[in-house]
């Protein structure tokens, strides 16, 4: 069974903290993505990666960075968390060039207080 696993389901952090959200996939997929989802706004792309050590900015990269040191792992970093980064964060992965099917993790609900 294919799987995308996010390290935490719920997370509460303080303003100014450095926050790491981890995502691991076991399908040997080349592409990985980070989205955030807010009520009424749908899913918005933060960053994506199509290979190890490669990254591309999505629609809303400000305040975030990413790391992909291994093919199966894609980390989202909030350098200095702020309350407007309170959101549901979703990680996804997909195969290169063969399908429009992406596999999503269960999401991390982050609250910044």
Partner 1 sequence: LAKTTQPISMDSYEGQEVNITCSHNNIATNDYITWYQQFPSQGPRFIIQGYKTKVTNEVASLFIPADRKSSTLSLPRVSLSDTAVYYCLVGDRAGGSYIPTFGRGTSLIVHP
Q: Which residues bind partner 1 (CB under 8 A)?
A: 4, 30-31, 33, 35, 40-45, 48, 50, 58, 90-92, 94, 96-107, 109
Pick between residue 14 and residue 98 the one whose CB is nearest to partner 1: 98
Pick between residue 14 and residue 101 the one whose CB is nearest to partner 1: 101
In the complex, minimum distance from the CB of residue 69 to partner 1, in angstroms, rounded to a whole number: 21
Kindly report the backbone phi and psi dihedral angles of residue 31, in degrees, each rounded to the nearest multiple of 5, phi listed first.
-95, 140
Of 3, 9, 85, nearest to 44 (Cα)?
85
H-helix or E-strand spanning residue 43: strand 42-49
């Amino acid at each position: 069974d294919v799987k995308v696993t996010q390290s935490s389901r719920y997370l509460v952090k303080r303003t100014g903290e450095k926050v790491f959200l981890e995502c691991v996939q076991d399908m040997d997929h080349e592409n990985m993505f980070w989205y955030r989802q807010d009520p009424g706004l749908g899913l918005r792309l933060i960053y994506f990666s199509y290979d190890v050590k490669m990254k591309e900015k999505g629609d809303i990269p400000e305040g975030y960075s990413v790391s992909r040191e291994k093919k199966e792992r894609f980390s989202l970093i909030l350098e200095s968390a702020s309350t407007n980064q309170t959101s549901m964060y979703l990680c996804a992965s997909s195969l290169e060039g063969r399908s429009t099917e992406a596999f999503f993790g269960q999401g991390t609900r982050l609250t910044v207080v």
